[in-house]
Structure 1
């Protein structure tokens, strides 16, 4: 209901007065009609929530008149009022109309005019214009209209974005909405890259923190949306964005800027596929002409991230739920960033060209310092995992103090905690290459956490799959007797064997990658912790001998590990169990021999040698 003086007027009656004004031939009547319609839509909630009535109102609005108002020239109060009214009317309807009406040509035609008037619209109207464009351009026809707008108009539009942090944030959000759900084709993608490059250019010479925060937020929002695909090739704007990051880091940024950079890098790592190979693009010194005299960007940035992680972890157990949730996401981005650096470092150390390591600026003394810092950071992380896990278990003792017992508190569910997810990835990566004993012994001390997280990952209700990083961590640990014994004591064999049984089916080939599971079980058997194979373990011999012979190289790689596991199981089995397994060993020996004969010419020498060893050893078991 609306009112006119003291007498209430129904929305139907008001519309009966407004619609004739909108259809009048003179501009004054149309202008009055638009003004009254705007007031009615702003105040009448019942009308706003009636899609049929809203659609009929939009159909009555003269599109050509709105276009003329948007094109009003001059900077006077009258002209500004015309543009403001037109923009406000379009904004209202984009929020109230059904999606199919927003995608119609009448609305799509306003995209370019709205972009064009942005430099000449009052500042208070700019948020409405951005929100309007977000609504229209988030669908394919609207995105196409935005992308096809002449560059001279879009350049002026994006150069306005840096006038305020809120405008910048909404402009970046608009850009990301343009490309959602496959809205853009190849040429549209290139145009989008140029637009984002223009926006970055507009931010040069100013505090980069807002653009870092806005891009990180939009990337994160895109990543969590299941309909968004990963970035498959290096974007044209990425070098410039990373150049801004490097300049900021080398200028000793404030805390807010450092955290914005980590959030940005973390969101990029989550949003880009492995084909983009982000680590060298970010860290390699040859990619930037800006250097400090003594330490490279990669060292300075990584050190800043390590310091922030170490300074934050001790306070986690005392945080409120809200603070913890925000901090957990930040630390997860930090761990992901550290993972990227470790991968970059491994690429340098394992590469054939020693000049790459020299060009990186990472001298031996800096590498030693980083190794020490990583060790301390991961040690603190493991301590936190232990404390967090114990605080959520019913041990019969008084749990450590935590600020909330809500089920929604991620600290109450390590299985959903971003710190556990990202921290374990970094730990697994580091353990794979670093041979320090202290950290390994500390990792063995949370073997119960590893096996429990693995088991929870196999459940249908699991929201996070920890199996890949856990397999990598276990592979680096269980070759020692102490670690293998801890693995067995915490039911690790049953957990992995059950997962193996779920992953492969009798009479079928290897259909999923189970090489990691097989390798861990082999390492446990070959450690000093196992004197004899248990009878229950021998069920795996039956399972693996029931699979179809490998026909492809990827299947052969897994089958080889299966042969090796059978060999290890049977060779440590009691005599009676060995005798019972002879026929299965003979079957697998014949499979291995046929695979070697068929594929020898295209197999690497180490695979050929491993197959020959398996054939020989299984043959000795049969005899």
Structure 2
């Protein structure tokens, strides 16, 4: 290709009148279509820099004018401008951080409501390329798009039902491009945009929208989650409607994953809309939603191990893990909403009874599944090949943490002895999972759910026997509680204090059934740690974290007093009791800051004289 042709194109693009520039742009488009592969990178960059950004913007805006006699001419201008920009985004790898590219986004986004189908597709592809943020890049297309007003996003949102690439644009912008914007501003914009997305999908199949919401809330910075979102109930209604109608496997996957993502992001706000019916509804769609999730678990759990090495297993395991998380939330919802009149309209006593029967079956099947997986893992550790150990291990499978949480929630709150006895058979798995959490941050945090499960399992003789056989007190609970007691306050979180209280409660249950006349090894060590514990003063105004810490201090103090009573009397006990009395006084004083008379009375009743 002769350089004279390029020179002519550059001359026309540099002209002061738009007519010459447009002719140059048409020639440039023809040249790029025919000879782009013959151009060197420097030539391509030079040609791109020869185009006036303002001229491109004028062409794009002209193509967005309402219908008129010049409508075809205007659309031709838009088509040419978009085609040229589209080609350059394919040829220049750094376009996502080039302002001459990404500053065109607002006009391009607005043009999708007026452009032809082909040009619309190209516009969406252009913006998609420009928002794909390079790793570590603080500015660029994604940040620029995220900074736009919601009104600039509206046209793209409107065409999302016909062009699913739009979802990827918003994913990149919200997840990768929002670091330069204030949290409150971005949170409000995401909230408004999601409401627009829901409106745009009226009359369209909701599956792409649910997949988008799942993707966003699985990856979005938690600080950017909108508070008290008005769109939560309409999305819950979409999920319920899908579940209550015949769905393909892909549709089932979409509504299960979306429900699980919302429950994880909004554990307080999402259960109500998902698990209760609109009082005006003639069908119990919330009940049908829960029922379909249950059916999915019950019909699939026995198929998992045989399919562990198949291509479909990763997708299958993620769906069942999400379904189990939904069931865990539902069990918690039933407990907290037991007396809610609105909930009772959809979840009538006969429906709850039927759901409970299926829940019991589900818990039993999940316990059996965990036992089979654990047996398979142990067989593999001994060199015995099996379907269970030849693929992803039990510790890597997303079903494992979801299954543990589901089983634990049920065992803690339901007093059925049969399931608690059955669960004694997986205490060795709990033992290993707990120990792994003590030494590694690369595994799911399951200590609190395991402690919840132990609250129920230790009520049975089989459970206590399995617990003692595995020596969980010395291998797991005491070391964990010791670590909390010896850590500086600034190193601990509310979760640590909650877990510490759960350990104290679990040991308390165990000691109630402890029949050995000799004290448990480590008891005196734990008592002395509590006696030496630096309670510290709670300053006003006290916060939620202060209360969690104080509840933990109260729980371990009660445990220390109980353990001390079971230890043989010797001269050291007087010294320890004196120290514990000092701890008790400080704890009572701190409860005075909260003006919690019931807790003050509870601590005062501890006998240390």
Could you say whether these structures have the same fold, taking a TM-score greater than 0.5 normalized by the shorter chain as the test? yes
Please give the alpha-carbon distance, in whole angstroms, between the structure 2 residues aligned to 1:306 and 1:547: 46
1:21-64 CA-partner distances (Å, limit 9, x unpaired): 543552312321244346655x36973xxxx8765553322213
Please give the alpha-carbon distance, in whole angstroms, between the structure 1 residues aligned to 2:232 and 2:114: 31
1:465-517 CA-partner distances (Å, limit 9, x unpaired): 11121122122322444323322211311212122232332786994412112
Q: What displacement does 1:602 show?
A: 4.2
Q: What TM-score comes out, normalization by structure 1 length?
A: 0.82
Please give the alpha-carbon distance, in whole angstroms, between the structure 1 residues aligned to 2:515 and 2:362: 30
Please give the alpha-carbon distance, in whole angstroms, between the structure 1 residues aligned to 2:232 and 2:197: 13
Q: Does 1:573 align with 2:567?
A: yes
1:55-84 CA-partner distances (Å, limit 9, x unpaired): 555332221332243234679887655433
- Of 139, 144, 152, the residue aligned with 1:141 is 144
Please give the alpha-carbon distance, in whole angstroms, between the structure 2 residues aligned to 1:100 and 1:250: 43
Match of 2:486 in 1: 505
What is the correspondence of 1:393-472 to structure 2 with a 5 Å cutoff? 393=378, 394=380, 396=382, 398-402=384-388, 405=390, 409=391, 411-412=392-393, 414-472=394-452
Please give the alpha-carbon distance, in whole angstroms, between the structure 2 residues aligned to 1:210 and 1:365: 35
SS of 1:416's equivalent?
coil
- Of 581, 584, 587, the residue aligned with 1:595 is 587
Q: Tell whether the 8 Å contact from 1:560 to 1:611 is kept in structure 2 after alignment.
A: yes
Q: What displacement does 1:97 show?
A: 4.9
Q: What displacement does 1:306 show?
A: 0.6
What is the correspondence of 1:132-171 to structure 2 with a 5 Å cutoff? 132-136=126-130, 139-145=142-148, 147-149=150-152, 155-163=154-162, 167=163, 169-171=164-166
Q: What displacement does 1:558 show?
A: 1.2
Q: What is the Cα-based RMSD across aligned positions, in Å?
A: 3.3
Match of 2:464 in 1: 484
Question: Which stretch shows the higher mean deviation, 378-387 or 258-267?
Answer: 258-267
Match of 2:291 in 1: 303
Q: Tell whether the 8 Å contact from 1:232 to 1:273 is kept in structure 2 after alignment.
A: no
Match of 2:280 in 1: 289
Please give the alpha-carbon distance, in whole angstroms, between the structure 2 residues aligned to 1:45 and 1:304: 58
Please give the alpha-carbon distance, in whole angstroms, between the structure 1 residues aligned to 2:466 and 2:444: 24
What is the correspondence of 1:135-284 to structure 2 with a 5 Å cutoff? 135-136=129-130, 139-145=142-148, 147-149=150-152, 155-163=154-162, 167=163, 169-180=164-175, 181-182=178-179, 183=181, 186=184, 189-220=187-218, 222-223=219-220, 227=221, 229=223, 231-270=225-264, 272-274=265-267, 277-284=269-276
Match of 2:361 in 1: 376
Match of 2:511 in 1: 525
SS of 2:304's equivalent?
helix
What is the correspondence of 1:555-570 to structure 2 with a 5 Å cutoff? 555-570=549-564
Q: Does 1:122 align with 2:112?
A: no
> How has the CA–CA distance of structure 1 residues 489 and 509 changed in structure 2, closer, same or farther, with 3 Å as cutoff?
farther
Q: What displacement does 1:184 show?
A: 6.4
1:415-450 CA-partner distances (Å, limit 9, x unpaired): 232111111112221122111111111111100000
Question: Which stretch shows the higher mean deviation, 184-193 or 585-594?
Answer: 184-193
Q: Does 1:36 align with 2:31?
A: yes
Please give the alpha-carbon distance, in whole angstroms, between the structure 1 residues aligned to 2:358 and 2:251: 22
Q: Tell whether the 8 Å contact from 2:408 to 2:449 is kept in structure 1 after alignment.
A: yes
Q: Tell whether the 8 Å contact from 2:96 to 2:129 is kept in structure 1 after alignment.
A: no
Match of 1:543 in 2: 529
What is the correspondence of 1:90-105 to structure 2 with a 5 Å cutoff? 90-94=85-89, 96-98=92-94, 101-102=97-98, 104=99
> How has the CA–CA distance of structure 1 residues 108 and 230 changed in structure 2, closer, same or farther, with 3 Å as cutoff?
closer
Point out where structure 1 has 5 or more consecutive residues left out of the alignment.
none
Please give the alpha-carbon distance, in whole angstroms, between the structure 2 residues aligned to 1:530 and 1:46: 85
Please give the alpha-carbon distance, in whole angstroms, between the structure 1 residues aligned to 2:384 and 2:242: 46
Q: Tell whether the 8 Å contact from 1:600 to 1:608 is kept in structure 2 after alignment.
A: yes
Match of 2:370 in 1: 385
Question: Which stretch shows the higher mean deviation, 304-313 or 240-249?
Answer: 240-249
Q: Does 1:67 align with 2:57?
A: yes
SS of 1:289's equivalent?
coil
> How has the CA–CA distance of structure 1 residues 18 and 258 changed in structure 2, closer, same or farther, with 3 Å as cutoff?
same
Q: What displacement does 1:384 show?
A: 0.9
Q: Tell whether the 8 Å contact from 1:162 to 1:202 is kept in structure 2 after alignment.
A: yes
Question: Which stretch shows the higher mean deviation, 326-335 or 186-195?
Answer: 186-195
Match of 2:520 in 1: 534
- Of 303, 306, 315, the residue aligned with 1:326 is 315
Q: What TM-score comes out, normalization by structure 2 length?
A: 0.84
> How has the CA–CA distance of structure 1 residues 536 and 528 changed in structure 2, closer, same or farther, with 3 Å as cutoff?
closer
Q: Tell whether the 8 Å contact from 2:409 to 2:452 is kept in structure 1 after alignment.
A: yes
1:155-179 CA-partner distances (Å, limit 9, x unpaired): 554333323xxx1x22233334443
Number of aligned residue pairs:
571
Q: Tell whether the 8 Å contact from 1:87 to 1:128 is kept in structure 2 after alignment.
A: yes
Q: Does 1:111 align with 2:88?
A: no
